[in-house]
Amino acid sequence: MARKKTHEELTAALAEARAALADALLDGASTEEPRGRIAEIEAQIAAIEAEAVAKAEAERAEEAVKVEAAALEIAAEQQAAVVAAVEVPGLEEIVGEPLPQPEPDAAVESASRFVAQCRAALVQAQGEYQTLADEVEALRARMSAKLAACDAIRTRRSAGDERASDAAELALLTADAEALRTMVDQALQRASAGDHRAAAREALQAAEAQLASAHSKAAFGIALTRLRMAEQVMIDAFRSVVHTGRACGEPSPWLHYRPSPDLVRVATGQILPSASNPLFK
């Protein structure tokens, strides 16, 4: 089975076919053959380009599935961490029923997806740069081999082993080394221009900061909800003190209850964020 020609080979062949068509037109000859050749090559190029587009779309779709799966995993981990961060020992026993599981936080889910996308982008940037860096190293290795061959010839000649072909071989090796040096410089420029790793890392750091913020806000919201649940139990318990006290003849049964200093601080908002405050420990 014949090897398929590359896009570059077909482009070169197309240029030749168009040149043949121009010659035929100038000579007044039949243009059927060059026109048929042009149509054939253009069809092959179109097929290669369509195949490349389909492959790229399939790869993008596959990557999107992976990113979405990673996003769901991150969101699930974050949601579990949020719930664990606001756990209040004994609250379920006080409330008297299982605590409701918080709904997944939309901001956490969105930030998780952003993190997953940025992680995938960083992996892609690292892969793209590595390809460019490998090209640089391969060219450097070839250049070093040429220079090493030059050094070997000079070492041999300094030891008295001179050959008639040395001058021509040295000139050829030196020219090759210089050409490779130019190619190395060009490859370094391509690698520098195509190095998007720093930008990808910065984007990931921003995404992770956004996720941390969403995590904290979600935890704060759940903590407030659970505090109100505990507050309701407290109010119900206080109501029970009032009712039972009045029933036994106490005119002001609520005076028998004195809240702790910490509870007074919580209820009145007289809280100083200092290390000595037990609420901040």
What's the average pLDDT block by block, 10 residues per block, for the chain (281 residues)? 81 93 92 93 93 89 91 93 85 80 91 96 95 96 96 93 92 95 96 96 97 95 88 88 91 87 78 60 58
Could you tell me where the beta strands, DSSP code E, fall in 112-178? none
Give the residue from 84, 72, 83, 80 showing the smallest Cα distance to 109: 72
Give the residue from 2, 27, 227, 218 showing the smallest Cα distance to 109: 218
Alpha-carbon distances of 128 from 131, 132, 190, 195, 220, rounded to whole Å: 5, 7, 11, 8, 41
Q: d(Cα 151, Cα 30) in Å, to the nearest integer? A: 59
Residues 166-223 pLDDT 10s: 999 999 999 999 999 999 999 999 999 999 999 999 999 999 999 999 999 999 999 8
Q: What is the pLDDT, as a whole number, of residue 33?
A: 93
Number of H helices, E strands in the chain: 7, 0
Residues 170-180 pLDDT 10s: 999 999 999 99
